[in-house]
């Protein structure tokens, strides 16, 4: 199976070879002169230059060869050697119909890899804030995209379940529920479930944190308990694990709302059993410095100063890096992936660079294994400042979801009621959040403008959903005869849609290679625009010519399938109606 684009590129490559020249990559480009052709090949000039030839002469020779193939309907040379290409109608339609049967005709699969994606990264026992939305959204989309290319992909949430928050929550619990078995002198084991709600958890951490800020003695206590958990002191670790469990359930709930699901629900705590083995591997490269063991990671050609990575404290207590390195060890040992991707706030970029270098240098990771940091920018409020609630507090992710649901509900038709309404409101809200979040290029900061993102016009989730629902309603109104088949290109509007559909191969490839969801969002907007124009100018339902009507229905079907697939990559669902 090869895409149309690949097929054509191979044909052009062969023609060039036939003329006796070599070329590494032939690209079928979008046309910037649609009046001259549907696509362009702009590579002649480079080949001519390399071989000391006149480009127009070379273009002419190339066209002579290509013309023998009837699939190239029209070949026009422009300027210094641009070749404008118009394809034979049957060739185009044949491919479109193949895609109707199987979406995979749009993509060219290369070697399948095993990839672990580290995304989500919520911190247990602390509320999820708006900033925590980007990693699950982006990570989930990249995971689905990697799966589309038939890779074996595992998403790991890598929960932040170690750190100061353990000491905070436990010290506060000691005050609130001093009679818990974990605090008894003779504690050995406790199998009872912990009587603690999500609401309790939401309160405990901020209360403790405020107290500790003002009271050095309390802070000292927090540090002590945090260290006990890190050391694995049974009573505290047992209690902390129960707290993490409760918190995990809540975090999972929020991720579910965002349609983010993880193959591996692991966290920093899970790395502890690998720390000893990890440190054995790192040891020959470590040296002592100011109470810690560090590894030099700078290289001669560095443009910025990359400081040594602090691996572990000399007293043996672990830090963030210890746990990340042990997690890498565990992933290599258990899954032996070809690649590990980290979808994390770009401000952690330097830290990950240090970790990666230490991993390669020590042999924790083979040179062939690719560790890749995929940083993302900050999500700010409409005014470019940190996103806050009306009274100035930090906005939780759940509060943002509710806020967007309210707006979605206010725009939905009144006559959709009950459970159905609830579901559709949720689907629209998620489209507002996700499309808004996935449209900006990954590593840029952006402003979350709720009004703009929820409009049914422009580059928004609701606009795309609206288009999809409109197409779906055509199918509900019309009976089709036989199988879907596009048999006509009766207008420029249809031709434009078909050209756009052929481009999808390149769009998906670029999004996958650059790990950039923005390209997919842009494409969705463009294909919706083209379809809506076609829809406005063609009365599909009342078309008298049955053959044309059926062809339009089939084309609509293909556009729908494409929108549906791309939205599915972004983890956005299409409502039944809007
Ligand atoms: N919990 C971390 C944080 O909030 C993000 C985790 C990212 N992944 C990792 N392997 N360190 O900053």
Question: For position 46, which CATH number holds?
Answer: 3.30.1360.70
CATH number at residue 480: 1.10.730.10
Helix, strand and coil content of the chain, in percent to the nearest 5, comes to 55, 10, 30
Cα–Cα distance for residue pair 430/69, rounded to 1 Å: 48
Specify the pLDDT at position 480: 65
Neighbours of 468 (CB within 10 A): 23
Residues 246 and 305 in one domain: no
Query: In a 10 Å sphere around its CB, with 0-12 CB exposed, 13-18 middle and 19+ buried, how is residue 262 labelled?
Result: buried
**Is the distance from the beta carbon of residue 123 to the nearest atom of ligand 1 less than 6 Å?**
yes
Specify the pLDDT at position 387: 87
CA of 115 to the centre of ligand 1 (A): 18
Q: Do residues 462 and 410 make contact, with C-beta atoms less than 8 angstroms apart?
A: no
Specify the pLDDT at position 388: 83
Asked if residue 109 belongs to a domain, the reply is no
Residues 446 and 506 in one domain: yes
Whose alpha carbon is nearest atom 11 of ligand 1?
324
**Is the distance from the beta carbon of residue 322 to the nearest atom of ligand 1 less than 6 Å?**
no
Asked if residue 124 belongs to a domain, the reply is yes
- Of 236, 257, 278, which marks where a domain is finished? 257
Residues 461 and 533 in one domain: yes
Whose alpha carbon is nearest atom 3 of ligand 1?
121
- Of 330, 345, 379, which marks where a domain is finished? 379
Q: Do residues 5 and 506 make contact, with C-beta atoms less than 8 angstroms apart?
A: yes
Asked if residue 434 belongs to a domain, the reply is yes
Asked if residue 94 belongs to a domain, the reply is no
Residues 375 and 439 in one domain: no
- Of 257, 276, 296, which marks where a domain is finished? 257
Residues 276 and 337 in one domain: yes
| Closest ligand 1 atom number to CA of residue 132 | 4
Cα–Cα distance for residue pair 210/205, rounded to 1 Å: 9
Residues 424 and 313 in one domain: no
Asked if residue 108 belongs to a domain, the reply is no
**Is the distance from the beta carbon of residue 156 to the nearest atom of ligand 1 less than 6 Å?**
no
Asked if residue 191 belongs to a domain, the reply is yes
CA of 402 to the centre of ligand 1 (A): 25
**Is the distance from the beta carbon of residue 160 to the nearest atom of ligand 1 less than 6 Å?**
yes
Asked if residue 104 belongs to a domain, the reply is no
Specify the pLDDT at position 510: 97
CATH number at residue 148: 3.40.50.620
Residues 228 and 181 in one domain: yes
End-to-end CA distance of the chain: 37
Specify the pLDDT at position 392: 78
Divide the 578 residues of the chain into consecutive groups of 10 and give the mean pLDDT of each group: 94 97 94 95 96 96 96 96 97 98 96 97 94 97 98 98 96 96 95 91 93 96 96 96 96 97 98 98 97 97 96 94 98 98 98 98 97 97 87 88 96 95 98 98 96 96 98 84 90 97 98 98 98 97 93 96 98 96
Whose alpha carbon is nearest atom 12 of ligand 1?
121
Residues 416 and 309 in one domain: no
Tell me how far the alpha carbon of residue 372 is from its chain's centroid: 14
Q: Where in the sequence is the domain holding 221, given as residue range(s)?
A: 164-257
Residues 410 and 474 in one domain: yes
Residues 444 and 506 in one domain: yes
Residues 237 and 350 in one domain: no
Residues 342 and 373 in one domain: yes
Asked if residue 101 belongs to a domain, the reply is no
Q: How far is CA 574 from CA 142, 188, 464, 560, in A?
A: 19, 52, 9, 11
pTM of the model: 0.96
Q: What's the domain count of the chain?
A: 4
CA of 276 to the centre of ligand 1 (A): 21
Candidates 568, 571, 555; CA nearest to 96 is 555
Specify the pLDDT at position 1: 76
């Amino acid at each position: 199976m090869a895409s149309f684009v690949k097929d054509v590129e191979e044909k052009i490559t062969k023609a060039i070879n036939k003329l006796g020249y070599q070329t590494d990559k032939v690209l079928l480009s979008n046309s910037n002169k649609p009046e001259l052709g549907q696509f362009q090949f702009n590579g002649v000039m480079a080949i001519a230059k390399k071989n000391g030839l006149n480009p127009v002469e070379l273009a002419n020779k190339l066209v002579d060869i290509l013309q023998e193939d009837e699939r190239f309907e029209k070949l026009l040379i422009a300027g210094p050697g641009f070749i404008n290409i118009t394809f034979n109608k049957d060739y185009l339609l044949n491919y479109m119909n193949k895609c109707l049967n199987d979406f995979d005709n749009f993509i060219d699969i290369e070697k399948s890899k095993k990839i672990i994606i580290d995304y989500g990264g919520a911190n247990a026992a602390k509320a999820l804030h708006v900033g925590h939305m980007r990693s699950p959204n982006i990570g989930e989309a990249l995971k689905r995209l990697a799966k589309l290319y038939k890779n074996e992909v595992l998403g790991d949430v890598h929960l932040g379940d170690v750190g100061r928050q353990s000491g905070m929550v436990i010290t506060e619990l000691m005050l609130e529920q001093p009679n818990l078995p974990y605090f008894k002198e003779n504690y050995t084991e406790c199998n009872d479930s912990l009587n603690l709600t999500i609401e309790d958890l939401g309160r405990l951490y901020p209360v403790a944190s405020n107290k500790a800020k003002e009271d050095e003695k309390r802070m000292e206590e927090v540090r002590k308990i945090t260290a006990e958990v890190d050391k694995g002191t049974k009573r505290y670790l047992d209690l902390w694990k129960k707290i993490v469990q409760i918190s995990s359930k809540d975090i999972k709930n929020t991720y579910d709302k965002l349609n983010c699901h993880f193959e591996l629900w692991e966290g920093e705590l899970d790395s502890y059993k690998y720390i000893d083995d990890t440190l054995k591997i790192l040891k020959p490269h470590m040296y002592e410095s100011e109470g810690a063991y560090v590894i030099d990671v700078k290289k001669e050609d560095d443009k910025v100063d990359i400081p040594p990575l602090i691996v572990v404290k000399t007293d043996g207590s672990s830090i963030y890096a210890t746990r990340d390195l042990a997690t890498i060890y565990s992933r290599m040992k258990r899954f032996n992936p070809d690649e590990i991707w980290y979808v994390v706030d770009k401000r952690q970029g330097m830290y990950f660079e240090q970790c990666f270098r230490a991993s390669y240098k020590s042999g924790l990771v083979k040179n062939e294994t690719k560790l890749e940091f995929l940083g993302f920018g900050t999500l700010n409020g409409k005014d470019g400042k940190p996103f806050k609630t009306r009274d100035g507090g930090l906005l939780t992710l759940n509060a943002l979801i509710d806020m967007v649901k309210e707006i979605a509900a206010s725009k939905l038709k009144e006559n959709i009621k009950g459970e159905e309404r609830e579901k559709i409101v949720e689907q629209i809200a998620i489209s507002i959040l996700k499309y808004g979040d996935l449209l900006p290029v990954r590593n840029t900061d952006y402003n979350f403008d709720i009004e703009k993102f929820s409009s049914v016009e422009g580059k928004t989730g609701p606009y795309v959903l609206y288009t999809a629902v409109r197409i779906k309603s055509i199918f509900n109104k019309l009976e089709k005869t036989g199988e879907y088949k596009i048999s006509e290109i009766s207008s420029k509007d249809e031709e434009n849609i078909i050209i756009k559909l052929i481009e999808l191969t390149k769009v998906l490839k670029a999004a996958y290679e650059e790990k950039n969801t923005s390209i997919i969002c842009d494409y969705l907007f463009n294909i919706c625009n083209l379809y809506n124009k076609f829809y406005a100018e063609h009365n599909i339902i009342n078309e008298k010519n049955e053959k044309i009507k059926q062809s339009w229905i089939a084309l609509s079907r293909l556009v729908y399938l494409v929108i549906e697939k791309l939205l599915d990559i972004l983890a956005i669902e299409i409502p039944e109606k809007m």
